[in-house]
Amino acid sequence: MAHEEWLALGGKKFLCMPGKLTPLHEASLAARGQNYITHSDYYKTRYWALVRQAVLARDSATCFRCREPASYVHHLFYNFRGEDHLHPETLVSICGACHQIVEYARLAESLLTKIQRRISLCKGFLEDRQGCLDQNAAHVAARLLGYHDELAELEKLFATGTPYKNPRIQSAAEAEAMSERFRAEREAYDKRAMDLVFGWEGSEKERAEKLIPMLEVEIPKVEKFIAKVLEPILPSAERLEKNRQGYTVTKAKSNISGVEALVVGIKFHRGHTDGIVSGESVQLVREPNNAYDPNAIRVNLQTGETLGYLTKEFAAVFAKQLDAGEEIPAQVSKIVRGKVYVAVAAPSGAKSF
């Protein structure tokens, strides 16, 4: 029945539906005689009711995050909205509390798309690709600063457990105020960007090229945040037991007393974790001329192959020790869901963790 209704309502035409419309948008479309189904109307259709019912039955009406009773069905992404029954993997059952939190993952997915598109535009500009407009350094830097602040705001809201609320524009005055706020923010980013790239030498393309690695470094940060938002929340007793077991395993496999750090950027260097095992030694190599982080520390496998980098927070802790010529023992402590963690010896004089 769901498939028949999907066909009756126009099938793939659902993919062309406008997003969440304000009364002003609806009035404008109605004045033009345009037929459409609004975002809210879509979730009132018999089609969606059947899809929702099927997903809840599949998941035993259990929230995928906290394992509490679920009454909502959430889109992990909207690429196939209107063809939901053909792509059930994009839907999950979720409770009301978690539903307002996982929206931050969707916003981060949107941010990820913007960063990837900016990188593509920059590379197209460098290659004189048709259709790629001038991506001057100040313009790209302004967008980079905006992406960085957008992620920071999402992380802040998620960390404080603030439920997501979709801002709805209810009047022309609100629309005008929002437009003015965006304009002021854009001007502020443009000014910060000019300060950032001021004094950079080289042609416009050479200056813009320096920003590509800085954009690429943002991608694993956003991906890490998305994974954190979508990671299931275990019941208290189960979570405590998992933490206890994880601690024991780490200690049993590692002979290094120090800290455990996540390796980022694997996707853009080695590309996979195949062949890596817990207990394998790795080498920490300083990159003082790194365009994004002057404290950058590269993680190399014993073969000399680059695995990835320590996060900026950990790099800041160990950079001075490496710059002083000291060697810091490190080894793979665990591999979880394609993420590699390394145990790193604590800095001289520091307390072990």
Token code pair at residue 258: 């120090």
Q: Which residue has the tokens 């404008």?
A: 28
Q: Residue 57: beta bridge partners?
A: none
Token code pair at residue 16: 């062309």
The pLDDT, as a whole number, for residue 333 is 86
Q: Which residue has the tokens 């049993």?
A: 252
Beta strands 258-264 and 306-310, pairing class: antiparallel
Burial of 210 (0-12, 13-18, 19+ CB in 10 A): middle
Look at residues 288, 286, 289, 314 and name the one whose alpha carbon lies nearest to residue 298.
286
The pLDDT, as a whole number, for residue 244 is 44
Distance CA 168, CA 51 (A): 26
User: Is 351 in a helix, a strand, or coil?
Assistant: coil
Q: Write out the chain's pLDDT in tens, 353 residues.
A: 556 665 665 555 554 444 444 555 555 555 655 555 556 667 777 778 888 999 999 889 998 888 889 999 988 777 777 778 878 888 889 998 888 888 898 899 889 999 999 999 999 888 888 767 778 889 999 999 999 999 999 999 998 888 888 777 778 888 888 889 889 999 999 999 998 888 888 888 888 899 999 999 999 999 889 888 887 775 544 544 444 444 333 333 445 556 788 898 888 888 888 888 888 899 999 998 887 888 999 999 988 889 999 988 788 888 888 998 888 899 998 887 678 888 888 655 444 33
Distance CA 211, CA 119 (A): 9
DSSP string covering 147-176, please? HHHHHHHHHHHHHTTPPP------SHHHHH
Token code pair at residue 127: 């290659």
Sign of CA dihedral 341, 345, 350, 353: positive
Look at residues 83, 92, 71, 94 and name the one whose alpha carbon lies nearest to residue 2.
83
Token code pair at residue 120: 């593509």
Residue 146 — φ and ψ, nearest 5°? -65, -40
Residue 62 DSSP symbol: B
- The CA–CA distances, whole Å, from 351 to 37, 60, 257, 315, 329 equal 61, 47, 10, 17, 16
Q: How far apart are the first and last CA of the chain?
A: 58
The pLDDT, as a whole number, for residue 351 is 41
User: Is 288 in a helix, a strand, or coil?
Assistant: coil
**Domains by residue range for the chain, with CATH:** 2-94 (no CATH), 99-230 (no CATH), 236-345 (3.30.70.2330)
Token code pair at residue 98: 């978690």
